[in-house]
Amino acid sequence: MLRQAVTGQKDRMRRQDLPAVPENSGLFVTVTGVVAGWTHNRGQPMTHQGHGSFRSFLGLRQRHTQRSGLKAAAADRNVLNVPSKLPQGASTDLSVIWRRLRQLAVPYWKDSEVASQARWRLAGVVALTLGTTGVSVMFNFLGRDFFNALSEKDAERFTQMLFKWLGALTVGIPVFVFRSYYQDRLALEWRNWMTEDFTKRYFENRTFYQVQVTGQPDNPDQRVSADIKNFTETALNLSTTILQSCIDLVSFSGILYTIYPPLFAALLIYSIGGTSISLYLGKNLVGLNFQQEAQEANFRYGLVRVRENAESIAFYGGEASEAKLLFQRLVSVVENYGQLIKTSRNLQFFTSFYRFVIQILPAAVVAPLYFSGKIGFGVVNQSSSAFNHILTDISLVVYQFETLAGFSAVIDRLGEFMEVLDEAAPANSSPAAPLQDQPEPLLPPASSIQLSDEWHEGVGIGKGGVLLDLQHVTLRTPDSSMTLVEDLTLQVKKGESLLIVGPSGAGKTSIMRAIAGLWTSGEGSICRYGRPVGAGSGGGDIFFVPQRPYVVLGSLREQLLYPTWADAEDLVGSSAPDPETSDSHDGAASSHKTATKRIRPPPRDAELQEVLRRVQLGGLLSRQSSVPGSPAQAPVAKPASAPSSPSHTVNSPTGSGRQHGNAKGLDAVADWAGVLSLGEQQRLAFARVLLCRPALVLMDESSSALDTVNEKHMYNLLKSEDIVYVSVGHRPTLRAYHDRVLQLLDRSSNNDAETQQQQQQCNWKLLDAATAELS
Ligand SMILES: Nc1ncnc2c1ncn2[C@@H]1O[C@H](COP(=O)(O)OP(=O)(O)OP(=O)(O)O)[C@@H](O)[C@H]1O
């Protein structure tokens, strides 16, 4: 990181068009040399990518073949447990890198909605880049005449040239500054677009969940935040550098050739030799850059985990082991980084030498011509400058080794991520670029449970009042390593409640996952007669309450409105209650355009306060913000019913700056996940259900932290609202609130295949809750 910061700073300085030769060399023997160097920024690393390597060049093939093994392992590890040594592949398959580069780079310039605008801007940057070469050539000639005048002691001409030269500066400086500025701006816009695109696809089809379950790819957050930034900046820099190199090569070759053809020979030998040596010296950088990024991400993630689980760790007294774990990760970071800077040091010995020698080599070659009086002193300078330019063009690899290496690692990481996103995408939304050499699918193709939804215009109930219909469902874990439920057939009808019980690990939560569509591995079909409630859906029939209540960042109001009215900004103006089907308590917002009959406006404050009291959380209304001035990051909800009502300045009670210091009641902002007890969080989850009023709620141990009185009260509230519920739970008291019990039986610990098969054929029982005798 430190190195990144330092080098990043260096790059910035360099991109301010400092000389191509070492900044502190003091070897700029002529003003022309300084200007030529200053006007020529191609000799420097471009935006730093960390310390790169040609890891990708050497790594892709092996990683591809290792993928199947990784898949199996991935199911058993979460992101935190990414092995400290990532597979360090070895591949020289440039076609893979090229394919990934195309897939990453092309969409913005070709398929995006801003493609034509972006192309125009790119054309502007290219024009400015051409301009910089023009300015360099201009200074090359001005410098020659300037030094000729100096050596001939022609004072009048010297003064003339001095003014010309200064005048040229006023043209040259803006060209360089604006080129750099517009290039940076274009990179920023590209990054913005790519980040949005990746993020959108990451959330589509619950890919983020799949990534979490499989652990592939590692550290997606790092890829979205840091790698995309690196990719866009370097891609643009590299493109303009290559373009400028080509143009320079042509322009200055002519100049050099007219001065002295043998200079070419010296130049070719020098550049080819230099490139070969730097490739040799830099080969140890292979893998180090990729490793560094992964190690840094693991270390950072370890710290985040400590923050997220501070209380649990404190209760367990787990500081020492957490610190040990973090130190282990730190050791990996430091060790790898130590290797990296050592290798980099060796490379720099050579590249520095290489750059310094350039300063005198051309002068040494043309010196005999100068001594014999065939050329003037200005021409010596001119040849020096031209030589510098051409050598920099040809020696791109020497100068940009680390940048190129880092860029390949970034392409690799982003390409891998994109392939995961493409795999998760629905069949009809295949990626823009053709995929030859397709990677293997993330999970092996297996039979899957058919999930369907049936709901029409406000009525989501199937024949006979069926809300949920499971037919011959066999459910397996995502890696298909374990069959959890075999041939399960059951229906949940209006007015009937179901309790799912069974030993820990039997698959109770997994049944919920299958109904929610998170797990699909297995056979059979599940039909949900109703619209599932999703974030910002504004209503729905089927509501899922997970085992761990999710507490959003933001105000108390936002806690209550989540998920039904999360992101309700979009809802405002595009949705409205239909007078016939709306069950809004206040009946307001009837002026809004109807988008879907089932969408309801967010409840008003009075209703939110009332529901808090009903779930025995009225006391929260007297709490003050405990996160002064912190920006709420949660999706912001805004009641459509009364957008102009003073009591509904939900979005930002105190303006966009969100100074919550003194906010109270529904506007109070706190780290609710840390402040509320688990039981309070569970009651909050009940409040969300009561506000949404779905037809069916599926709850996974949602009352496990409640006392029996509160538990009874919560179930009575659901009954009073006619909400059908399916609960997962261990507590015996739960049976009293349910009509039927689905009991999952213990899977045999006996490894005997025959015994297991017999048990799996009937590893569940459906019983009447009143009379059932649970085993
Ligand atoms: N991502 C996964 N990949 C593979 N197996 C998994 C995965 N997640 C859970 N399992 C396994 O699936 C089995 C069923 O898990 P599930 O969470 O459904 O159990 P449960 O009955 O709800 O348990 P509990 O009562 O303890 O919450 C367990 O053996 C668990 O280890």
CATH of the domain at 215: 1.20.1560.10
Calpha distance 493→75 (Å, rounded) = 35
Residues 496 and 466: their CA atoms lie apart, in Å, by 10
Do both 688 and 712 map to the same domain? no
Does ligand 1 lie within 6 Å of residue 478's CB atom? yes
How many residues comprise the chain? 775
Beta bridge partners of 498: 726, 740
Do the beta carbons of residue 518 and residue 555 sit within 8 Å? no
Ligand 1 proximity of 506 Cβ (cutoff 6 Å): yes
Please tell me the predicted confidence (pLDDT) of residue 55. Answer: 32
Q: To 10 degrees, the CA torsion angle through 101, 102, 104, 109?
A: 130
Q: Would residue 492 count as lying in a domain? A: yes
Q: Which of 483, 486, 509 to mutate to test the pocket of ligand 1 (most atoms within 8 A of CB)?
A: 509
Structure confidence by residue, pLDDT tens digits, 411-436 = 888 888 888 888 876 654 444 443 33
Residue 416 is assigned to a structural domain of this protein: yes
Indicate whether 354 pLDDT > 90: no
Q: Is residue 538 part of a domain?
A: no
CB of 700 within 6 A of ligand 1: the answer is: no
With DSSP H G I counted as helix, E B as strand and the rest as coil, what are the percentages for the chain, rounded to 5? 55, 10, 35
% pLDDT > 70, the chain: 71
pLDDT at 658 over 50: no
Q: For ligand 1, atom 7, which residue shows the shortest CA distance? A: 477
Q: Atom 24, ligand 1: which residue's CA is nearest?
A: 504
Position 718 pLDDT exceeds 60:
yes
Spacing of C-alpha 489 from chain mean position: 40
Residue pair 218/83 in contact (Cβ under 8 Å)? The answer is no
Q: Quick one: 599 and 739 in the same domain?
A: no
Same domain? 101 vs 243: yes
- The answer to whether 706 touches 676, Cβ cutoff 8 Å, is no
Q: Which of 649, 678, 679 is nearest to 665 (CA)?
A: 649
Give the count of domains, the chain: 3
> 537 in a domain, yes or no?
no
Indicate whether 279 and 405 sit together in one domain: yes
Same domain? 476 vs 560: no
pLDDT digits (tens, 9 = 90+) for 185-203: 999 999 999 999 999 999 8
Within-domain flag for 408: yes
What pTM was computed for the model?
0.63
User: Does residue 584 sit within a domain?
Assistant: yes
- CB of 510 closer than 6 angstroms to any ligand 1 atom: yes
Give the residue from 424, 456, 481 where a domain finishes. Answer: 424
Q: Cα(429)–Cα(423) distance, rounded to whole angstroms?
A: 10
Q: 392 Cβ partners below 8 Å, 6+ apart?
A: 20, 40, 42, 43, 245, 248, 399
Q: Dump pLDDT digits (tens) for 80-138.
A: 233 333 333 334 467 888 888 999 999 999 888 889 999 999 999 999 988 988 888 88
Question: Measured between alpha carbons, how far is 133 from 40 in angstroms, rounded to an integer?
Answer: 8
**Cα gap 623→651, rounded to integer Å:** 19
Residue 519 contacts residue 761 (beta carbons within 8 Å): no
From 675, 694, 713, the end of a domain falls on: 694
pLDDT level of residue 681 (50, 70, 90 thresholds): very high
Same domain assignment for residues 682 and 597: yes
1 confidence band (pLDDT: 50, 70, 90): very low
pLDDT at 98 (0 to 100)? 86
pLDDT of residue 602: 87
The tokens describing 494, both together, are: 């209006």
Pair (302, 403) in one structural domain: yes
> In angstroms, what is the span from residue 81 Cα to ligand 1's centroid?
18
Atom 13 (ligand 1): residue with closest C-alpha?
505
Rounded to whole angstroms, the Cα distance separating 441 from 448 reads 15
Residue 161, amino acid: M
Distance CA 104, CA 107 (A): 7
What's the rounded Cα separation, in Å, for the pair 666 and 622? 9
| Pocket flag, ligand 1, residue 479 (CB < 6 Å) | yes
Distance CA 764, CA 485 (A): 7
75 lines ligand 1 (CB under 6 A): yes
pLDDT band at 5 (very low <50, low <70, confident <90, very high): very low
- Tell me which of 694, 729, 751 is where a domain ends: 694
First to last CA, the chain: 58
Residue with tokens 């409040």: 687
Of residues 291, 766, 212, the one with CA closest to residue 499: 766
pLDDT score for 457: 58
Q: Which among 363, 366, 385, 150 has a CA at the least distance from the CA of 259?
A: 366
- Write the single-letter amino acid at 385: S
Rg of the Cα atoms in the chain: 34
Q: What is the pLDDT of residues 437-467, one digit of tens each?
A: 444 444 444 578 988 888 765 556 777 789 9
Calculate ∠ Cα 498-502-504, nearest 5°.
Answer: 130
Q: Mark residue 20 as left, alpha or beta (left: phi above 0; alpha: psi -120 to 50; beta: remaining).
A: alpha
> What residue's CA is closest to ligand 1, atom 25?
504
**Reduced to 3 states, what is the DSSP secondary structure of residue 713?**
helix
Spatial distance between the Cα atoms of 248 and 98, rounded to a whole number of angstroms: 25
Pair (94, 125) in one structural domain: yes
Do the domain assignments include residue 269? Answer: yes
Q: CATH number, domain at 467?
A: 3.40.50.300
**233, 331: one domain:** yes
The verdict on residue 45 lying in a domain is yes
Residues 510 and 559 in one domain: no
Which one has a higher pLDDT value, 47 or 623? 623
**Structural domain of 362:** 2-424
The verdict on the CB of residue 505 being under 6 Å from ligand 1 is: yes
pLDDT band at residue 40 using 50, 70 and 90 as cut-offs: very low
The interface predicted TM-score of the complex, written ipTM, equals 0.97
Are residues 654 and 760 located together in one domain of the fold? no
Do residues 15 and 71 both lie within one domain? Answer: yes
**For residue range 514-562, what is the model confidence (pLDDT) as tens digits?**
998 888 899 999 999 888 887 677 778 899 998 778 888 788 998 899 8
Q: Which atom of ligand 1 is nearest to the CA of 478?
A: 3
